[in-house]
Chains A and B, each alone.
Chain A
């Protein structure tokens, strides 16, 4: 129950940050990617802001034996840079540009603008299922 509460709190704070920063607005995100239009640098400030607590968190993490609410760290250890990583990133970036949405804002917007958000999230999950059944 404690772990679920921590995850719910983290998810809610994450969603609140997306909404407050303007990142739940697909046109604003697309504006950041639109170098040849009315470029909107807001996303760079969001990324920069998010880096600060996380850089500190990684320093603290290296000094801990285990996290505060779990028995051990479960962190990705893979360092492989392969075709899957690069092609996956190319496809994700294309979809991000076309829609102005990545997964976080897609889910966050279910509470703000449910119908178009649901269309995006439905297609997102369908894309994940396609990956699962073809790999």
Chain B
């Protein structure tokens, strides 16, 4: 669909993005809360002491794989190309877990919810984690890891 980027899925991306945005809007207008996955996951597991009621956090986090499973059933399976070894998953997971708690949010809380609110804090956080991601992958490519 995009001639210069044959692997891109712009239409699926836009529709899926709208679904994510409506989901975050349901959290905001229904429950008065930010749909921030890192914060809700920390709350659901009891790692965070403050935040959403635990029942709400657990319900949201359980919903994530449930919704993905439904789409996988409807579409006949979705592609999930994971790193080939466990090492990037472990190192990446540790950094994502620690970093999102220290920085108070991830792609959903700062990215989707905070940027659409024009929160300066979220605009800065999102710019930094995007830049950090670009640099990290560039370094991985330079080092022959990709």
Contact = CB atoms under 8 A, between A and B. Distances in A.
Nearest to A91: B99
Contact of A67 (B32, B41, B88): B32
Interface string A1-41: 00111111111111111111111111110110111111111
Interface residues on A, range: 35 or more
B131 interface: yes
Contacts of B64: 11-12, 14-15, 18, 104, 107-108, 110
B68 A15 contact: yes
A31 B116 contact: no
Interface string B51-63: 0110111011111
A13 B19 CA distance: 6
Main secondary structure on A side of the interface with B: helix
Interface in B17-36: 17-35
B23 A68 contact: no
B99 A89 contact: yes
A124 B56 CA distance: 20
Contacts of A28: 7, 9, 79, 81
Interface string B116-133: 110111001110111111
A21 B80 contact: no
A95 B94 CA distance: 7
Interface of A: 3-28, 30-31, 33-58, 60-61, 64, 66-70, 72-76, 78-81, 84-104, 106-113, 116-117, 119-132, 135
27 contacts: A4-B55, A7-B59, A16-B16, A16-B67, A26-B81, A49-B16, A50-B112, A51-B21, A51-B112, A70-B31, A73-B32, A81-B121, A85-B103, A88-B101, A90-B128, A92-B129, A92-B132, A94-B95, A99-B88, A99-B91, A101-B89, A102-B106, A103-B96, A112-B69, A128-B98, A131-B98, A132-B47
Interface of B: 2, 5, 7-35, 37-38, 41-42, 45, 47-48, 52-53, 55-57, 59-72, 75, 78-83, 86, 88-104, 106-108, 110-113, 115-117, 119-121, 124-126, 128-138, 140-141, 146
